[in-house]
Structure 1
Amino acid sequence: MLKVTPFLDHKSMLISTHYPVMVIGGAEDKVNGCGILTAFFKSAGGKMATIGIIPCASQEPSVVGDRYYQIFKGMGAQQVQILDIRQPKECDQDRWLDILANCTGVFVTGGDQLRLRDLIGGSRFMTSIKERIAQGELVLAGTSAGAAIVGERMIAGGSSGESPNQSLVDLTTGLGIFPELLVDQHFHNRNRMARLISAIAAHPDKLGIGIDEDTCAAFENDGTFEVLGQGTITIVDPGKLTHTNYRAATQSSPLSLHNLTVHVLSPGDRYDYQNRVVLS
């Protein structure tokens, strides 16, 4: 469980923040009400915010970074910086660490989660992000690839439209912001239920979270999250699992999982991911 103290900005002025970490399923509204992005902007300090954008998961980081730059500047953020990191070794350079030290919010864009993990994973840069989240000094939001990386185990790719099986999902290490979670994104939009179940069969100690597009798991300080946006969040909880044939199955044979618990949460619902209980 991520434990967060009350949020302090880089000038040590007390700010009330509602969502220290926001995990977005991708394709969030950027044109109309911008509800999820506005919630991040407000959590990061509103017009007092200094927002850093990390676009390095994208193949076009300059284009993607500029799009979010325009959005957050348009909302009135005090300062917006694009942390256009292109090589892993850059993550330990003072120029990026100094910018990060002044940020009250960091937004991680979509793209390729493997590329993102390989660029910033294990770096001083990522260590600083985790430390500042835990200390209540930084709000983090990630969309699509930026959502996939938050668990200790990460879905790197796979297929859809099949029964659950081992070959349906490619798993690797994530960044461990929430070690107990295993996140999939673009969830119902890309028919990824079987993929998430296959991932949970491989790691039944994790809690599966499938997040639809334009939908966000907005984590709070108390081990819970609230559903924001327009879609749903699907919880796949193997806590009461009585049987799976995962170890005996071949790569392509169907998987069985008995007594799996599934919840579908809509906007406004809240979930206690530490105790695995639906709150509303």
Structure 2
Amino acid sequence: MSNIKGKLIALGGGDDDVLLKLIRSEICDIHSHIEVIATATTEPVESGNAYKEAFEELGCSNVRFMHIDEANAADTTDHIERISKAGVIFFTGGDQVRLASFLNSTKLLEIMRRRFREEEIIISGTSAGAAIMSDCMIYDGYGHYSLIKGEMKTTHGCAFIKNVFIDTHFAERGRFGRLAHAVAHDPEYIGIGLSEETGIIISEGNQVEVFGPGVVTVIDASNTRFSNTREVEENEPIAVEHLIMHLLVKDYRYYLKERLFQPLTQTMPKEEAGNVALPEK
């Protein structure tokens, strides 16, 4: 996990000015090649061009919209050439299942993943564009119903990182239940809930820092003493003992591998690394 050279920047949705400005500052070079992918929305041309203009207004001079949908395949020669040169890939909001379905099993996504592992590229997105970043993503589950077996649903994401659920619009849409359910069912995963206008930067595939004015919720089920999520019948409520929750804000960080919360001013002790034993499923 620590060998990953790329950086993930994910926003929980809502007003995304803070995300675009952060990407601009992280790029440093205004001539960096930015590719906008708006496949998650049913109006990708309008959305893609709007984000292209937004980046250009910030001074970015090399921004392009990559049109991928029912009528425009992902694996074209032009797309592959462009994605091989991109310094930033930005995914817009919309429907994360739609977005993942058009990218998964494509050569284009394979190139993105390889470059993310091996190069200092930025993978960024808001809302659905943030939810697809891990290998598994939540796509359904509403309010208290999400604590009923069968109501919370997951599917394959785009797998830039693994063993993390990234949920968006977290506080605003009452999504604590579905994120808690997801990690209780799969305790090797860590749940990260992003409020609107608030996001995370994940460096080296491990170190999580917050940007924006809000709170990021982290849910850890690795020390759960009891969970009936695999045994209980469909349409029955789940029971879980000893979930751990952290509230992460700016100036604090969280290490995914070590499951460690700390202020930015503190250095992680070397003995912390690799000492966390996860429960068997």
Render the CA deviation track for 1:144-172: whole Å, top value 9, x for unaligned. 11111112221122211347222331111
Matched, 1:69 2:82: no
Structure 1 residues 161 and 222: alpha-carbon distance in aligned structure 2, compared to 1, 3 A threshold: closer
How many Å separate the matches in 2 of 1:205 and 1:88? 38
Instruction: Select which of 4, 19, 28 maps to 2:15.
Output: 28
Contact 1:2 1:178 in 2 (8 A): no
Aligned-partner SS, 1:175: coil
Pairwise CA RMSD: 1.8
2:209 is aligned, of 220, 226, 230, to 226
Indicate if the aligned counterparts of 1:41 and 1:49 stay in contact, CA closer than 8 A. Answer: no
- Give the 3 Å change call, closer, same or farther, for CA 233–173 of structure 1 in structure 2: same
Structure 1 stretches of at least 4 aligned residues deviating more than 6 Å after TM superposition: none
Tell me which amino acid in the other structure corresponds to 2:230.
Answer: R
Please name the residue that 1:105 is paired with.
88
Whichever residue aligns with residue 53 of structure 2, its letter is Q
2:121 alignment partner, one of 138, 144, 152: 138
Q: Which amino acid aligns with 1:129?
A: M
Q: CA deviation at 1:222?
A: 6.9
Is this contact kept in 1: 2:161–2:205, CA < 8 A?
A: no
Aligned match of 1:157 in 130, 140, 144? 140
**Residue 14 of structure 1 aligns with which residue?**
none
Equivalent in 235, 255, 274 of residue 272 of structure 1: 255
Which residue does 2:278 correspond to in 1?
Answer: none
Cα contact 1:46–1:76 (8 A) shared by 2 = no
Q: Which residue of 1 aligns with 2:131?
A: 148
Kept in 2: contact 1:2–1:177 (CA 8 A): no
Tell me: CA distance 1:88–1:232, structure 2 relative to 1, closer, same or farther (3 Å).
farther
Amino acid at match of 1:3: N
**SS state at 2:129 partner:** helix
TM-score by length of 2: 0.88
**Cα distance per residue 1:66-121 (max 9 Å; x no partner):** 11111110111120000011149722211111111221101000111111011011
CA–CA distance in 1 between the matches of 2:146 and 2:93?
Answer: 27
Picking from 109, 115, 120, the partner of 2:103 is 120
Q: Which amino acid aligns with 1:97?
A: I
Unaligned runs of 5+ in 1: 8-19
Contact 1:104 1:138 in 2 (8 A): yes
Answer yes or no: is the 8 Å Cα contact 2:89–2:123 preserved in 1.
Answer: yes
Aligned to 1:4: 4
Secondary structure of 2:73's aligned partner: helix
The offset of 1:251, in angstroms, is: 2.2
Separation of aligned partners in 2, 1:172 and 1:106: 22
Counterpart CA distance in 1 for 2:154 and 2:15 is: 25
Q: 2:184 aligns with which of 195, 201, 204?
A: 201
Secondary structure at 2:209's aligned position in 1?
Answer: strand
Work out the percentage of aligned pairs sharing the same amino acid.
27
SS in 2 for 1:189: coil
Residue matched to 2:62 = 79
Quote the Cα distance in structure 2 between the aligned partners of 1:58 and 1:258: 38
Provide closer, same or farther for how the CA distance between residues 105 and 242 of structure 1 changes in structure 2, counting only shifts above 3 A: same
CA distance in 1, matches of 2:259, 2:214: 21
| 1:245 counterpart residue number | 228
